[in-house]
Amino acid sequence: MRPGIPLPSAWRREALRTNLWLVPTVEIALAVALFAGTYALDRAAYDGTLSLPSFVISGTADAARQILTAIAAAVITVVTLVFSITIVTLTLASTQFGPRMLRNFIRDWITQLTLGSFVATFVYAILALVSIGPSAHGEFVPHLSITVTMLLVVADVGVLVVFIDHIAKSIQLPQVIAGIAGDLSRAIDADAALGGGTGAAGRGAGGPGVQKAGPSLAEAMVRLDEDSGVVRAPGSGYLQYVSMGTLVEIAARSHAVIRLLHRPGHFVVEGQPLADVWPASAAPGVARALGGAHATGPHRTLTQDLSFAVDQLVEIAIRALSAAVNDTFTALACIDWLGDGLCKIADRWQPASVQRDATGHVRVIAVTVSFRRLVERAHDKIRQASRAMPAVMIRQLDGLAKVMTHTSTPAQREVLLEQAEMIMRACEESVPEEADRADVRRRYEAVRTARQRSGV
């Protein structure tokens, strides 16, 4: 990412959400502002211009120091202990669920709020502690600030209970799997809301119904093959985000066509070709501006990478099917949610491979993941790991039959039928019991029946 160029908004939101410093920093700032207010009131009461209510804690300066010291020590000890134990627990859980557990823990707003609440209380208590000291009329004691500190501690206890309850629920297997499926569903909805479903005749930046102008897609591809400049990746990492609107503006200003060679989720190596630009003379200018239109990092994100959620569910399923874990029911739950995601993809998701500017000219040709590829990612590894396991085969075929009813094209139905046929062949080769093979065959016939009905 080039310095001085704003990050894409969706990527920025994801980056700001996935950290443990933003929310605590905001809460610390609020604690400092709160202390400034209570300190001013305490000063006014000390000077005799204000009377504090009777419920405000009173006492000597030594007593106040002891109270605030005890509170500060207790708060920082509790937050350190609780978070240390929680991270150890999540690290152990991640051996079955994958590294997603720790990343979810970091990006969870309840986690961030809990950490911020305790740290903010600690800062508030320290500020109140250092404010105690000699003054014009004897030692100054911030009675109202001490009272507020006690109230903050009570609030922290409530937040801690909510946090422990939330963590205890979030590491339960059904909740983890449902959370990944929810992320996939939201990613599909976000992509559909942005108008991604336009296929090769994409609306792109031009908006719905834009009139096509200039060279056709086929002509643009020929020109890119004959005379194009190469834009290379400035650094290594996973491509996390591509701002299509920014790319369209860059290409329109340069009267160029940009053909992306990678999509979000791909790993790019520094110096590897990232895009082709026609005409070649526009490549240097596009390369300078391209840094503000994409983001790379050490890990994949769901911002524009639907296959990442699919891969996460598949990862949990094949871990469950391994000899070390041997948890068939976990794999079945993953297959159920994969089927749900593929139903939504078949219903609503049609990625745009072409982006046009407001005048209708082709400006960006993107790499998109196909329905076929998503189905393969959702089923291939699980099918390979579940040989001689008819229960898993049956559940996969049940899921394919459900997805089949949501398809809208013969090509989609053919992809699903191919998967069903591969599962059936694996069953015939690896399942010795005839009754089990018969159960799998019945589910296979159900997929074929659903295909025939969907094609009517």
292, 308: one domain = no
Decide which of 256, 281, 297 is a domain's last residue: 297
3-state secondary structure string across 317-349: HHHHHCCCCCCHHHHHHHHHHHHHHHHHHHHHC
The answer to whether position 3 is within a domain reads no
139, 243: one domain = no
Q: Would you state the pLDDT for residue 436?
A: 95
Decide which of 257, 274, 297 is a domain's last residue: 297
Contact 88, 105 (CB under 8 A): no
The domain total for the chain is 3
The answer to whether position 188 is within a domain reads no
At 405 the three-state DSSP class reads coil
- Contacts (Cβ under 8 Å, ≥6 apart) of 423: 379, 383, 393, 396, 397, 400, 440, 444
The answer to whether position 14 is within a domain reads yes
At 380 the three-state DSSP class reads helix
Q: Would you state the pLDDT for residue 148?
A: 96
120, 246: one domain = no
159, 13: one domain = yes
293, 314: one domain = no
Contact 256, 279 (CB under 8 A): yes
The answer to whether position 195 is within a domain reads no
Helix axes 143-170, 100-107, angle to 10 degrees: 150
39, 129: one domain = yes
Q: Would you state the pLDDT for residue 3?
A: 37
Decide which of 263, 297, 331 is a domain's last residue: 297
**What residues make up the domain containing 323?**
303-347+369-454
262, 205: one domain = yes
49, 167: one domain = yes
Q: Would you state the pLDDT for residue 440?
A: 96
The answer to whether position 4 is within a domain reads no
Q: Would you state the pLDDT for residue 1?
A: 41
**From CA 350, how far away is CA 197, in angstroms rounded?**
4
The answer to whether position 187 is within a domain reads no
279, 312: one domain = no
333, 443: one domain = yes
The answer to whether position 79 is within a domain reads yes
pTM of the model: 0.79
287, 307: one domain = no
Residue by residue, pLDDT tens for the chain (456 residues) are 443 334 445 556 666 777 888 999 999 999 999 999 999 999 999 988 988 888 888 889 999 999 999 999 999 999 999 988 888 878 877 776 767 677 778 888 899 999 999 999 999 999 999 999 888 878 999 999 999 999 999 999 999 999 999 988 888 888 888 888 888 888 888 776 655 433 333 444 444 455 676 778 888 888 888 888 888 888 899 988 888 888 888 888 888 898 999 988 899 998 888 889 988 888 888 887 777 677 888 888 877 888 888 998 999 999 999 888 888 999 999 999 999 999 999 988 877 788 888 888 888 888 888 899 999 999 999 999 999 999 999 999 999 999 999 998 999 999 999 999 999 999 999 999 999 999 999 999 999 999 988 765
103, 41: one domain = yes
For 132-187, the DSSP string reads -EEETTEEE--HHHHHHHHHHHHHHHHHHHHHHHHHHHHTSHHHHHHHHHHHHHHH
Q: What is the CATH number of the domain that holds 204?
A: 3.90.1170.30
The answer to whether position 398 is within a domain reads yes
**From CA 144, how far away is CA 38, in angstroms rounded?**
6
At 6 the three-state DSSP class reads coil
